[in-house]
Amino acid sequence: MTKTADSVWMECLSFIRDNIKPQAYKTWFEPIKPIKLSGEALTIQVPSKFFYEWLEEHYIKLLRVALVRQLGNGAKLVYDVKMENAYSSNSPQTVKIPSANRNPLKPQKVTVPMESSRELKNPFIIPGLQKVKIESQLNPNYNFVNFVEGDSNRLARSAGMAVANKPGGTSFNPLLVYGGVGLGKTHLAHAIGVEIKDKYPDKTVLYISSEKFTQQFIDSVKSNTRNDFIHFYQMIDVLIIDDVQFLSGKAGTQDVFFHIFNHLHQNGKQVILTSDKAPVDMQDIEQRLLSRFKWGLSAELQLPDYETRISILQNKLYRDGVEMPEEIVEYIAKNIKSNVRELEGVIISMIAQASFNRKEFTIDLAKQIVDKFVKNTKKELSIDYIQKVVSKYFDMDVATLQSKTRKRHIVQARQLAMYFAKRMTKSSLASIGSQIGQRDHATVLHACKTVDNLTETDKQFKKYVDDLTKKLTL
Ligand code: ADP
Ligand code: MG
């Protein structure tokens, strides 16, 4: 039987498949296309330059053995790097498989003379030919030193420390830190990254919000560089994704993250995630992804108790070089209970007010400021308030927003109100539905999905969401 590129490659694949993990096979070998066989040289097409480099670095031995079995000791492998944004012809780059007298199993460095014919699309940087430098996007001010320890965060904090000491080397992989708004998830996530960078300067650490991750993914699909996007993320040693709850309902992004996650996990790389909910309470996240989230450790950041709130306040004052009477600190700690960001907010306002008006820190001033914070919190949490803000934004009254009409702009306003009620209150879907025009929970769920989808696909709509988010959180 005469050999063809296809038949040779099929045989190679069946050998390779038996020798590596299924996920690695799927990621690195399924996308390869056999192009041409001429004599002992097989040309294969790979999706990107990074892909080619990865094969060279990790699978060259295996490829060599597979190929030598098919084509004999003179076997040659030629890579054809597919140009995703083709604008010039691509000249294949040749790699010689070791010649007859060499032991094909012996590792050998293969140097490839090649001009880079296109640049790897990396969402953060333009890499040089060899070494890729990735900015870790970490905020050095969010570190362990100023992350005050207390009963409410002890588990999460010490798991974070353990991960920082041995990234990828503990059973806390992924480490999922979850908890309510303003309880320190982002701070802790950065702290872990900062600590790793400090201990292991050579490790590639990347912090990214899940919104930004989603946006990059969408952009990569648009510009036809999805593979580069995936490969970029698969190169990272420590990947920190903040607020994964925002992946909910975004099937495409979840799918791509699933593959990236598997690859990293399988290669002993560390993944750190934060979320505002425990995995069991996450909605519209694919089951297979949820089950991955549960592989490692889920650690909750709880509401800080009184002592911890005092420590956090004192720590903040100390860092700002400000002295404040104890009774005022206690007053603040007694009245702001649900959110560390607000504790800090009160201190910042106090300092601003006092220096602005050349006033002393007084209990009265503290009361005024605390009152404002407490009111704002209440406002944020009411579905009525959300409906008012949304109606006003679209220039309609609340009754119209709640009415049974199918007019498109009214339906959209109603769906947005439901979406924000879901996002910004603790109310159940059923209770949101009954408060926004007597709808059932399925309608609310549908509204949330629709808003998520439209936000991803429709610029104007995304602007509504952004504007309203600002108005509602101000
Ligand atoms: P989240 O991401 O959970 O909404 P953040 O990490 O943004 O919360 O925290 C809100 C603010 O509270 C930040 O300024 C952070 O530095 C501060 N903060 C939270 N927890 C602590 C802590 N344990 N010690 C010191 N500051 C904290
Ligand atoms: Mg955060």
Atom number in ligand 1 closest to CA 340: 12
- The ligand that comes nearest to the alpha carbon of residue 473 is 1
Pocket test for ligand 1, best of 187, 275, 302, 320 (most atoms within 8 A of CB): 187
Radius of gyration over alpha carbons of the chain, in Å?
Answer: 28
C-alpha of residue 344 to centroid of ligand 2, in Å: 15
C-alpha of residue 191 to centroid of ligand 2, in Å: 13
Pocket test for ligand 1, best of 176, 341, 377, 423 (most atoms within 8 A of CB): 341
- The ligand that comes nearest to the alpha carbon of residue 340 is 1
196-241 pLDDT per residue, tens: 999 999 999 999 999 999 999 999 999 998 988 998 999 999 999 9
> What pLDDT score does 257 carry?
96
The token pair at 260 is: 């990236």
Cα 223-224-229 angle, rounded to 5 deg: 95
The token pair at 438 is: 């007597």
> What pLDDT score does 259 carry?
93
Pocket test for ligand 1, best of 340, 380, 473 (most atoms within 8 A of CB): 340
CB atoms near residue 452 (< 10 Å) = 20
The token pair at 288 is: 């297979």
Q: CA 272, CA 473: separation in Å to the nearest integer?
A: 27
Closest among 66, 78, 68 to 99, alpha carbons compared: 68
C-alpha of residue 317 to centroid of ligand 2, in Å: 22
- The ligand that comes nearest to the alpha carbon of residue 243 is 2
Atom number in ligand 1 closest to CA 150: 23
pLDDT averaged over every residue in the chain: 85
Atom number in ligand 1 closest to CA 242: 2
Atom number in ligand 1 closest to CA 189: 6
Q: Mark 49-81 as b/e (b = at least 16 C-beta within 10 Å).
A: bbbbbbbbeebbebbbbbbbebbeeebbbbbbb
Q: CA 329, CA 310: separation in Å to the nearest integer?
A: 7
Q: Is 271 exposed, middle or buried (0-12, 13-18, 19+ CB in 10 A)?
A: buried
For 169, 236, 373, the CA distances from 362, given in Å and listed in that order, are 50, 50, 17
C-alpha of residue 276 to centroid of ligand 2, in Å: 9
Residue 430's contacts (CB-CB under 8 Å, 6 or more residues apart) are: 440, 441, 444
Beta strand ranges found along 89-237 (DSSP E): 93-96, 175-178, 205-209
C-alpha of residue 370 to centroid of ligand 1, in Å: 18
C-alpha of residue 157 to centroid of ligand 1, in Å: 12
Q: Is 151 exposed, middle or buried (0-12, 13-18, 19+ CB in 10 A)?
A: exposed
Closest among 211, 217, 246, 249 to 233, alpha carbons compared: 217
- The ligand that comes nearest to the alpha carbon of residue 242 is 2
> What pLDDT score does 160 carry?
96
Q: CA 451, CA 432: separation in Å to the nearest integer?
A: 15
Report pTM: 0.59
Segments in the chain below pLDDT 50: 84-131
User: Under a CB-based contact definition with an 8 Å cutoff, are residues 77 and 56 in contact?
Assistant: no
Atom number in ligand 1 closest to CA 152: 23
Q: Where does ligand 1 bind, in terms of residues with CB under 6 Å?
A: 146-148, 153, 179, 181-187, 312, 340-341, 344
The token pair at 117 is: 């014919």
Q: CA 473, CA 381: separation in Å to the nearest integer?
A: 10
Q: Mark 366-402 as b/e (b = at least 16 C-beta within 10 Å).
A: beebbeebbeebeebeebebbbbbbbebbebebebbb
Q: CA 197, CA 160: separation in Å to the nearest integer?
A: 14
The token pair at 111 is: 């140097």
122: helix, coil or strand?
coil
> What pLDDT score does 111 carry?
30
C-alpha of residue 182 to centroid of ligand 1, in Å: 6
Give 441-448's long-range contacts (Cβ < 8 A, gap of 24+): 443/418, 444/418, 445/283, 447/414, 447/415, 447/418, 447/419, 448/249, 448/284, 448/418, 448/419, 448/422
Give 66-72's long-range contacts (Cβ < 8 A, gap of 24+): 66/11, 66/12, 66/13, 66/15, 66/16, 67/8, 67/12, 67/42, 67/97, 68/97, 68/104, 69/11, 69/12, 69/15, 70/3, 70/8, 70/11, 70/12, 70/42, 71/3, 71/8, 71/40, 71/42, 72/40
Q: Whose CA is nearest to atom 18 of ligand 1?
A: 184
Q: Is 319 exposed, middle or buried (0-12, 13-18, 19+ CB in 10 A)?
A: exposed
94-148 pLDDT per residue, tens: 444 433 333 333 333 333 333 333 334 444 443 333 345 678 999 999 999 999 9
C-alpha of residue 343 to centroid of ligand 1, in Å: 10
373: helix, coil or strand?
helix
